[in-house]
Amino acid sequence: MGPALQQLDRVFVRYQGRTLVYFGGCDYFRLAFHPGVLAAARDATVRYGLNVAASRATTGNHSIYAELENELVRFFEVDRALLTPSGYATNLVAAQGMASHVTHALIDEQAHASLDDAAELLGCQVLRFRHLSPSDLAERLRRLPDAARPLVLTDGLFAREGTIAPLADYLRLLPRNGLLLVDDAHGAGILGSSGRGTPEICGVRRENRLIQTCTLSKAFGTYGGAILGNASLIGRIVRQSRQFAGSTPLPPPLAAAALKAVQIVRSDPGLRSRLADRVRLVKDALCKTALAQPQTPSPVIAVQARTVPAAARLRKDLLRRGIYPSLIRYPGGPPRGFFRFALSSEHTHKQLDALTASLLSVSGLAALGENNTTQRRT
């Protein structure tokens, strides 16, 4: 469990008696503190209360859920959207809906833990392919029986180091009866010219073989998750997923806040352009150093210290410059942890310059996953 932090506003936290610039978390547009989002949550609390206290399959199907799902359909240009109680739950709910239609699951070896758990729920053979490797995926697909109905599971934007899955290659390799499940928790809302996520930036068409899942707690700054896909798939999930049928849905105030947040992201392209500007500023400053990041639009800056003293020096320098030192331990990451900084549309250039200066001033640092830093900017 991490240290207790008091978030003060869109870019500052209180830590051990000090006010520090915060580059942690994943609230990429800082909508968790947006006045309109907060007002929507307050108004809905008074109007609807805190909880529907029942499953949507019984008496808990509030009208606010359909409003939010319809807004997500408009934003992502999909047939249908289905809310889930959390981003983690999206993949589990989706897997239960597909369990009887899939014979083999092929999963990126560095996929998020929720995809690992989802693969187990499919009740079929699970195979792993090398991280971001279409060639390894192709080899494993070739070994499957002719009648196989495979499902490929991958993150869209990998949160640790900011790389992007080659979705177009994966879809090209899949047989006609294969499916692709993309956990786009970190891509939805920020990637693509319209913010529709990894499928948009990879240039893949919305088709029956693609299922996109997302969370509302990152780019949209609120809470909950959503499954995005064709109407027949969503209908099957509603009918077959015990987790969906047996779960209490989002509290109505959070659904109202998410609705407002999606509307803001859809109507304000300046959020994405400001974020892209800040990403370029920092990545360009690091590009010719050992800290060079994947050249993608990902707002994640991830570095690791080669030694314990180097980690201590960076932590000390960040604190000296008034920045919270975001050292985290993430499943599958370096055992001693790594520093992960999430840039946002609301950080000032002065704050970004301070972060860059701190990173460049400390020796013994390297980009996390240096072998991935050559990915082309999309």
CATH number at residue 78: 3.40.640.10
User: Do 134 and 53 share a structural domain?
Assistant: yes
Q: Is 81 within a domain?
A: yes
What is the number of domains present in the chain?
A: 2
Q: Alpha helices of the chain — where are they, by DSSP H?
A: 35-48, 63-76, 87-98, 113-121, 134-142, 167-173, 198-202, 231-240, 242-245, 252-267, 270-286, 308-320, 349-361
User: Do 166 and 105 share a structural domain?
Assistant: yes
User: Do 10 and 52 share a structural domain?
Assistant: no
CATH number for 284: 3.90.1150.10
Helices first, then strands: H and E counts in the chain: 13, 14
d(CA 23, CA 20): 10
User: Do 150 and 44 share a structural domain?
Assistant: yes
pLDDT tens per residue, range 67-98: 999 999 999 999 999 999 999 999 999 999 99
With beta carbons less than 8 A apart as the criterion, state whether 355 and 291 touch: no
The encoded tokens of residue 341 equal 């900084």
**Domain-terminating residue out of 267, 284, 302:** 267
Q: Is 377 within a domain?
A: no
Q: Is 137 within a domain?
A: yes
Burial of 195 from C-beta contacts in 10 A (0-12 / 13-18 / 19+): buried
The encoded tokens of residue 152 equal 């490929």
User: Do 224 and 295 share a structural domain?
Assistant: no
User: Do 326 and 233 share a structural domain?
Assistant: no
User: Do 263 and 352 share a structural domain?
Assistant: no
With beta carbons less than 8 A apart as the criterion, state whether 55 and 247 touch: yes
Q: Is 335 within a domain?
A: yes
Q: Is 107 helix (H, G, I), strand (E, B) or coil?
A: strand
Strands 365-367 and 80-84: unpaired
User: Do 254 and 157 share a structural domain?
Assistant: yes
Give me the tens of pLDDT residue by residue for the chain, a chain 378 residues long: 777 889 999 899 999 999 999 999 999 999 999 999 999 999 999 999 999 999 999 999 999 999 999 999 999 999 999 999 999 999 999 999 999 899 999 999 999 999 999 999 999 999 999 999 999 999 999 999 999 999 999 999 998 888 999 999 999 999 999 999 999 999 999 999 999 999 999 999 877 899 999 999 999 999 999 999 999 999 999 999 999 999 999 999 999 999 999 999 999 999 999 999 999 999 999 999 999 999 999 999 999 999 999 999 999 999 999 999 999 887 667 878 999 999 999 999 999 999 999 999 999 999 987 543 333 333
**Domain-terminating residue out of 267, 296, 312:** 267
Domain span holding position 174: 34-267
**Domain-terminating residue out of 232, 267, 302:** 267
Tell me the Cα Rg of the chain. Answer: 21
Q: Model-level pTM?
A: 0.94
**Model pLDDT, residue 378:** 30
d(CA 15, CA 301): 21
d(CA 223, CA 217): 4
The encoded tokens of residue 213 equal 């899942």
Angle at 32 between CA 320 and CA 59, to 5 degrees: 150
User: Do 249 and 144 share a structural domain?
Assistant: yes
d(CA 235, CA 71): 18
User: Do 136 and 14 share a structural domain?
Assistant: no
DSSP state at residue 335: T
